[in-house]
Amino acid sequence: MAKHILVVDDDPVQRRILEETIKRLGFEAVCVSSGDQALTVLEGPDHGAISLVLLDLVMPGLDGIGVLSRLVPQPGMPPFIVQTGNGSIDAAVNAMRAGAVDFVVKPASPERLEVSIHTALKVEALTGEINRIKKKADGTLTFGD
């Protein structure tokens, strides 16, 4: 079963381009047009189906930093890759501080997105494996031995 990537972007043309790119990479795209819609998906009952989020930084209403601030601290959230047309160093630093795992400047090439997506998913899988090992070790250790 293909992994689902949530695309959050207020620009319909950009959403369509990202949707097609994601499909060509072998993933399923779920597209929304606002930060509020992203919250609905990621805080809803099917949030576990989302493996990664491509998040626009600048949107009307709840922007990308607002989404990151609210969701990243919650356990079980997928990795976030932030994208924006404003490729300033400050924007990248702020996004990474807010919890993004990567930052890409629009329009990002399909090759750049592919590398970013695969890297984020690999890091997430490794982090999950480390956490499972830690939990298993914590459950099997006894004090006083």
30-39, 47-56, 111-120, 127-136, range with the lowest pLDDT: 127-136
Section 96-120 average pLDDT: 90
Q: Which helix (H) or strand (E) holds 31?
A: strand 28-32
**Given a cut of 70, is residue 82 above it in pLDDT?**
yes
**Given a cut of 70, is residue 145 above it in pLDDT?**
no
Please give the angle made by the CA atoms of 113, 92 and 76, to the nearest 5 degrees: 70
- CA–CA gap between residue 117 and residue 37 (Å, rounded): 21
**At which residue do the structure tokens 């998913």 appear?**
121
More confident residue, 126 or 42: 42
Give me the DSSP letters along 39-74.
HHHHTSTTGGGEEEEEEES--SSS-HHHHHHHHTTS
> Closest Cα to residue 14, out of 45, 53, 52, 55?
55
**Given a cut of 70, is residue 5 above it in pLDDT?**
yes
Section 124-134 average pLDDT: 74
Query: Which tokens sit at 138?
Result: 């914590």
Section 93-113 average pLDDT: 89
63 alpha carbon, distance to own chain's centre: 14
pTM: 0.84
Max CA-CA distance within the chain? 62
